Structure 1
Amino acid sequence: MSQQPNALIREKSPYLLQHAHNPVAWHAWNEDAFALAREQDKPVFLSIGYSTCHWCHVMAHESFEDEEVARLLNDWFIPVKVDREERPDIDSLYMTVCQLMTGAGGWPLTVFMTADKMPFFSATYIPKMTRFGRTGMLELLPRINELWQQRRRDILQSAVSIAEHLRQFVEGDLLRQHQETAPLSAATLDRACAQLLERFDAEHGGFGGAPKFPSPHNLLFLLRRHARTGNAQALQAVERTLLAMRLGGLFDQLGGGFHRYSTDERWLLPHFEKMLYDQATLTRAYLEGFEATGNALFAETARAVFDYVQRDLLDDSGAFHAAEDADSEGEEGKFYVFTTEELVQILGEEDAALAAELFNCRREGNFLEEATGHATGANILHLTAPLETLAQAMGLPVDELRRRTNAIIARLFDARGRRVRPHKDDKILADWNGLMIASLAYGARVLQDQNLAAVAARAATCILATMRLPDGGLYHRYRDGEAAVPGLLDDYAAMLWGLLELHQATADTAWLDQARTLATLMCEKFWDTDRGGFFQVAGDAEALLVRLKDVHDGAVPSGNSLAFFGLRLLARLTGDTAWTEKAQAMLQAFGNDIAAMPLSYTFFCCGLEDMFQPAAQA
């Protein structure tokens, strides 16, 4: 790697700083970079990722730390790096482009574009050398440069065509949203429930096949469905999924917290990143699952996640860091897995045998290499049943097994703590903190633990004190003493939910007042006065190719779904019908999309369920 830093050394993003010593002459996304592209008559090579992304690391090591690849990038392109978590507006725009062009998406996201920000080629991970049917960087870069030099008109026409196709795609969404909408009814929710249950994996829990994402909003919707209609299948699907995720490798059995997703259908083999948003939304699902079933393991799981977040993600300021990496010492999952030999070294023969039986460890290992499927000798600790069931199978008293298990966990956790830890992305994001504040405050009520409310209040105080725009609005990111990037819809909507939950947990009207202010600003900055609903970015934000308006619930609920949920809750807590009217206008804006495929909008459907049963938890 080059010892001379590039322009990223002046940035705050941990992801950009990871690339500050690459031999690639990276620029951050700014007008200077695009002006340089115009001045030097070069296309822009845009690379989007995030600091805890495994495949981003792979591409960095293969290509961006390689002198040969760097020379081609520096000679023929203006290389630009973007942290998708710092600039979700840029990421979502060009991810939409990638999906339209290739039918797929993911990170790292690679886009070749003109100096006017119009894309003409898009891909995800690109290896250095051509392999596995993927064209490599050393073959692709010369090809793109040749086209730029010899067939410029074709490239520019393609870029114009792609940009126009993007505009038509977005405008088509907006027009469809604006068409006359039949009122959403209970039948829409019937279809959402039926679609989810059709995809439910009764054997392993979760929905669909591998890879499996937690998608807690699916569970929250089914819990509301059960509460309103008594649908037993909905509750059974939630119980099975919550239990399977808690017992499986998706959950860190030693340190608490959930990994990002499972690569297999059994929740055993995770991608080991730990994201703040997953901790926030999953604790909400476990808390509501505990309320619905009385299963103490669900409450215990929520407490374990709260403990993890406070121990490992809490900033000195009181707010929460974004994520922990999957990799350490260049290997995914190395921090988390154990060989049976290591168990013996740490625990001794007798306790190691119990740990191996308890956590399903084998001499050959259960952690399979993703590319080959071969055992690595390492084990992902996981359970096959709750301790009560395991105690019966082992012929041990439950209390004895619990005592010995807790002692084993403590010793393994202590030993693991002496390993090289995964990288932590220590930036503070307003939207993810809003989700965490909401879950902590809700947990304070469900678990009757006011300390959780105090932790939530401290985080909210930090966000509101350090991440405010001059007009009282929010910045999106804070790190190393700097608040930056004007807030997006998700920041306002998630913080609105967090403040409303804090008000309910503490009965402090100051949080309700702050929520009102934030909701007012959200409506002023993001509301589409022509068609209804909220845009992702404010009207005075940096101009990109199009202004997106998304309601689809992905890994986290969309900004519009959060806003709908929050506005309805604000209306209920204040009695102000203006907020109800705004929520009703959102139904008009998005009713066609939701009615056509309600499965894609399950958090929005949570708000709809609450409409049909106002007494349901909100």
Structure 2
Amino acid sequence: MSTSHKSNRLAEEKSPYLLQHAYNPVDWYPWSEEAFSIAKHENKPVFLSIGYSTCHWCHVMAHESFEDQAIANMLNKDFISIKVDREERPDIDHIYMAVCQAMTGQGGWPLTVFLTPEKKPFFAGTYFPRSRKYNRAGMVEIIAQLASKWREDPERVRELGEQVTTETSQRLLENQTGGKLTEETLHEAFRMYVSNFDAENGGFGTFPKFPTSYNLSFLLRYYKKTGNEQALAMVEKTLDTMHRGGMYDHIGFGFARYSVDAQWLVPHFEKMLYDNALLVMTYIEAYQVTGKEQYAEVAEQIITYVLRDMTDAGGAFYSAEDADSDGVEGKFYVWTMDEVEDVLGIDDGDLYSEIYGLTESGNFEGQNIPNLLDTTLASSARRKGIPLDELKQRLETARVKLFAHRERRVHPGKDDKILTAWNGLMITALSKAARALDKPEYAAAATKAADFILRELRREDGRLLARYRDGEAAFLGYVDDYAFLVGGLIELYETTFELRFLREAVQLNADMLRLFGDEAKGGLFFYGSDAEQLLTRPKEIYDGAMPSGNGAAALNMLRLSRLTYDAKLSQAAEEQLQAFAGAVSKYPPGHALTLAALDFAYGAASEIVIAGDPAKPETQRMLRAVQRQYLPNALLVLHPPGAAGGAVRQLIPLVQDKLPLGGRATAYVCENFACQAPTQDVEELQNLSSH
């Protein structure tokens, strides 16, 4: 952030991204009615720039253009300039990104859009250099040309804005019904995943490679459902190669946003909370399915990173870490062999460099990204004649020393705002990990985060808010905030059996349906009926960087309806799936979380009630027997004795008449509305629940 100029209006904002531009010579406004009123009063078009704080090319464009006095003069003279943090206002970003994709065939950030004073877009793109290069028009010529067109014929520009708005609205609101979702949709999705799978490197497509962990989670569900070994093989290949590659931080843990190559070697170095939360879930699921400790280890390492580097003192989780430090992408993460040798000594330095692929010439701009793509620890141990446990210990000792050395470097910027939706995903991840690995400390971390969100990001009237930073909660929550938090609270209940979390989930889900539901056509709008009404009111069903809120909501409603015996919720879930049947049927792999809901709806969903005193070891053994298993379509409920049991019965009627027999912990397993004989044998419970 340049501070050679006086501050502009963004200095009063809380967003780390907006604050990065607070000392630009550009006369920035935050998104506000004031900005558009001034644009109308002065009859100027609007320059809208959307990005986020850890976006590398946003930094590049800021340095090249927004810190440049000449460009600032042009913008200040002929435009009203508005900056938006896409993570605070995904509603604005969603709409204008659709405009960019429609006008140019591509999208990304920074997002650059020129609007009429009525918010109608007439020109859009992503990154533009200061002057023409990379076969891209430069900001200097774009600004000059568009200012000229506005001066010469503003009505023609307004007509173009109206046309673009109409076409974009139609695209976003096009009828998504018309298809039919059946079990065959799941099989069609699997066939499409197979056709797009990179058998050599794992993952889907060519490059850049994104982790898209929700696709892998669907394939694990499909394997559970069908026993198809190819589904599991695709998951394992991808998880193994992703972790061995340079996209994984082998020194400090956690995954970067994506790999720029097909081999997972060179990452785009930013780390996002949502990616790491989703990947914890998938690695945990893979551990439950296969029993392979390596998947549990990766999940635990990611959690170590999040709890160490991405956790607020109040217990909630920060959003992201930048790719850049000292203005250089990846500088914090790369190494030379000489530096490694200085830290570790010659023998251990040579060992580390050999195993983690470090060379004199480097694998990234003359330096090295540690990776295991050319070896495994087991094969390295055999080759060097070192016992595997001894090799692992030496490498762990080396890692700790390298980490301590790296900590003294200039760190990448951290976006420390707290987003409700992304915290919901991390609460889910920690809850799943706590159950599968018997780690109560993970449940405690999830509880602390949930309590923070429910306390700090809700108004007195119960309305959920989207962002918290520096003591301020702001922006009415979007459908993702509700759907991901509700999902996290359901998972947290099934981990801690604190009934308050399930109550909150039920209430927030009801609020979501009221605020976002489309009674005419079904599905959930992206922003609420009480929010600022933008050019159009879209619904999102496609899984992008994160899975869609509509898909998450469908799965939540199915689970809550089974727990609470709420027939209206069951009907709402069915309508939710059918509302998007057309879109999902056209390309099932683009809707993995909706497919998970479909599998739950049409598969063999089960309810497992453990009736017993949670303070007794026999009850805990039964709970653990269920929790460690991979049971994606099962619901687990604890029915304790006494007053606590009465409260459970009020909220969860399915526990009625399911009592401890003879005063001993007893398990009841019900599937497809039929219950098996109760059991008090843990092994029998494992067999009953696993089918």
Provide TM-score, normalisation by structure 1. 0.97
Distance 1:540 1:504 in 2: 32
| Aligned residue number for residue 378 of structure 1 | 367
Q: Map residues 27-106 of structure 1 onto 2, 5 A cutoff.
A: 27-106=29-108
Instruction: Work out whether residues 469 and 486 of structure 1, in 8 Å CA contact, stay in contact via their aligned partners in 2.
Output: no
Superposed displacement of residue 176, structure 1 = 3.9
Choose the corresponding residue for 1:613, options 588, 599, 604. Answer: 604
User: Is 1:254 paired with 2:264?
Assistant: no
| Aligned residue number for residue 298 of structure 1 | 295
Structure with larger RCO (C-alpha < 8 A, sep 6+)? 1
Choose the corresponding residue for 1:391, options 381, 397, 417. Answer: 381
| Aligned residue number for residue 134 of structure 1 | 136
Instruction: State the secondary structure of the residue aligned to 1:419.
Output: coil
Choose the corresponding residue for 2:469, options 479, 486, 506. Answer: 479
Superposed displacement of residue 561, structure 1 = 0.7
The code of the aligned residue for 1:347 comes to L
The code of the aligned residue for 2:466 comes to H
Instruction: State the secondary structure of the residue aligned to 1:264.
Output: coil
Distance 1:570 1:450, change over 3 A: same
Distance 2:301 2:479 in 1: 30
| Aligned residue number for residue 200 of structure 2 | 203
Superposed displacement of residue 293, structure 1 = 1.1
Instruction: State the secondary structure of the residue aligned to 1:366.
Output: coil
User: Is 1:526 paired with 2:516?
Assistant: yes
Instruction: Work out whether residues 216 and 285 of structure 1, in 8 Å CA contact, stay in contact via their aligned partners in 2.
Output: yes
Superposed displacement of residue 18, structure 1 = 0.3
| Aligned residue number for residue 166 of structure 2 | 164
After superposition, the CA RMSD in angstroms is: 1.0
Superposed displacement of residue 334, structure 1 = 0.4
Superposed displacement of residue 594, structure 1 = 1.1
Instruction: State the secondary structure of the residue aligned to 1:533.
Output: coil
Instruction: Work out whether residues 577 and 598 of structure 2, in 8 Å CA contact, stay in contact via their aligned partners in 1.
Output: no
1:524-581 deviation line (CA, Å, top 9, x unaligned): 1000000111000111210100000110011111110110111112223323232211
Superposed displacement of residue 473, structure 1 = 2.1
1:460-487 deviation line (CA, Å, top 9, x unaligned): 0000000102321210000001000000
Superposed displacement of residue 253, structure 1 = 0.3
The code of the aligned residue for 1:398 comes to L
The code of the aligned residue for 1:279 comes to N
**Larger Cα-atom Rg:** 2
Instruction: Work out whether residues 468 and 474 of structure 2, in 8 Å CA contact, stay in contact via their aligned partners in 1.
Output: yes
Instruction: State the secondary structure of the residue aligned to 1:442.
Output: helix
| Aligned residue number for residue 186 of structure 2 | 189
Choose the corresponding residue for 2:357, options 349, 355, 360. Answer: 360
| Aligned residue number for residue 574 of structure 1 | 564
Distance 1:170 1:350 in 2: 60
| Aligned residue number for residue 148 of structure 1 | 150
Instruction: State the secondary structure of the residue aligned to 2:81.
Output: strand
1:442-476 deviation line (CA, Å, top 9, x unaligned): 11000111110000000000000001023212100
Q: How many residues in Structure 1 have an aligned counterpart in Structure 2?
A: 605
Instruction: State the secondary structure of the residue aligned to 2:580.
Output: helix
Distance 1:195 1:57 in 2: 37
Superposed displacement of residue 167, structure 1 = 2.1
User: Is 1:449 paired with 2:443?
Assistant: no
Distance 1:142 1:565 in 2: 50
The code of the aligned residue for 1:298 comes to Y
Superposed displacement of residue 399, structure 1 = 1.2
Instruction: State the secondary structure of the residue aligned to 1:106.
Output: coil
Instruction: State the secondary structure of the residue aligned to 1:218.
Output: helix
Q: Between the two proteins, what is the percent identity of the paired residues?
A: 47
Superposed displacement of residue 154, structure 1 = 1.7
Choose the corresponding residue for 1:122, options 105, 121, 124. Answer: 124
The code of the aligned residue for 2:412 comes to P
Choose the corresponding residue for 1:537, options 527, 536, 539. Answer: 527
| Aligned residue number for residue 333 of structure 1 | 330
1:87-141 deviation line (CA, Å, top 9, x unaligned): 0000000000000111100000000001110000001001001012111011111
Distance 2:118 2:384 in 1: 67
Choose the corresponding residue for 1:222, options 219, 222, 228. Answer: 219
Distance 1:448 1:457 in 2: 15
Superposed displacement of residue 610, structure 1 = 2.3
| Aligned residue number for residue 319 of structure 1 | 316
Superposed displacement of residue 186, structure 1 = 1.3
Instruction: State the secondary structure of the residue aligned to 1:222.
Output: helix
Instruction: Work out whether residues 321 and 427 of structure 1, in 8 Å CA contact, stay in contact via their aligned partners in 2.
Output: yes
| Aligned residue number for residue 373 of structure 1 | none
Instruction: Work out whether residues 322 and 429 of structure 1, in 8 Å CA contact, stay in contact via their aligned partners in 2.
Output: yes
Structure 1: gaps (5+ residues):
368-375
Distance 1:213 1:575 in 2: 39
| Aligned residue number for residue 370 of structure 1 | none
1:305-350 deviation line (CA, Å, top 9, x unaligned): 0010000000011100000000000100000000111111111111
| Aligned residue number for residue 19 of structure 1 | 21
Distance 1:390 1:610 in 2: 43
Superposed displacement of residue 513, structure 1 = 0.5
The code of the aligned residue for 2:274 comes to Y
Instruction: State the secondary structure of the residue aligned to 1:422.
Output: coil
Distance 1:338 1:97 in 2: 41
Distance 1:228 1:353 in 2: 47
Which deviates further from its counterpart, 601-610 or 452-461?
A: 601-610
Distance 1:17 1:86 in 2: 13
Instruction: Work out whether residues 224 and 610 of structure 1, in 8 Å CA contact, stay in contact via their aligned partners in 2.
Output: no
1:159-191 deviation line (CA, Å, top 9, x unaligned): 1111111122233x2x342x4x53x21111111
1:373-427 deviation line (CA, Å, top 9, x unaligned): xxx2210011134322321122211011011000110010000000000000000
Instruction: State the secondary structure of the residue aligned to 2:390.
Output: helix
1:167-225 deviation line (CA, Å, top 9, x unaligned): 22233x2x342x4x53x211111110010111111111101101000000100000000
Choose the corresponding residue for 1:514, options 504, 509, 534. Answer: 504
User: Is 1:593 paired with 2:583?
Assistant: yes
Superposed displacement of residue 435, structure 1 = 0.3
Distance 2:465 2:446 in 1: 19
The code of the aligned residue for 2:195 comes to E
Distance 2:172 2:410 in 1: 45
Instruction: State the secondary structure of the residue aligned to 1:249.
Output: coil
Instruction: State the secondary structure of the residue aligned to 1:505.
Output: helix
Distance 2:159 2:434 in 1: 57
The code of the aligned residue for 1:520 comes to A
